[in-house]
Amino acid sequence: MTTKTVDIAEAQVHLPDLLSLVSSGVEVVFTKGSTPIARLVAMESSTAPRLPGLHPGAIQTSDDFDEPLPDGNY
């Protein structure tokens, strides 16, 4: 992965260009002077579909879940 180092003052002016670089696979490191302060990388998208039932028993709902609340209790 290619890395580009950018001073934070320059980054404010060129943010759209930096985002284009990131979407093409370049990592951008923001600096304040010579001190690195943040790193911007592309999000990894998951192509795998979500599968129901992977954690059976992890969530429980009480039998009265959808019953009205007693007066005054919200």
In DSSP notation, 35-49 reads EEEEEE-PPPPP-SP
The domain spans of the chain are: 3-40
Domain 3-40: which CATH number of 3.40.50, 2.115.10, 1.10.40, 3.40.1620: 3.40.1620
Tallying the residues shown for the chain, one arrives at 74
Residues of the chain with pLDDT under 50: none
- Summarize pLDDT for 19-38 with one digit per residue, the tens: 999 999 999 999 999 999 99
pTM of the model: 0.58
Task: Yes or no: say if 30 and 6 are a contact pair by the CB < 8 Å rule.
Answer: yes
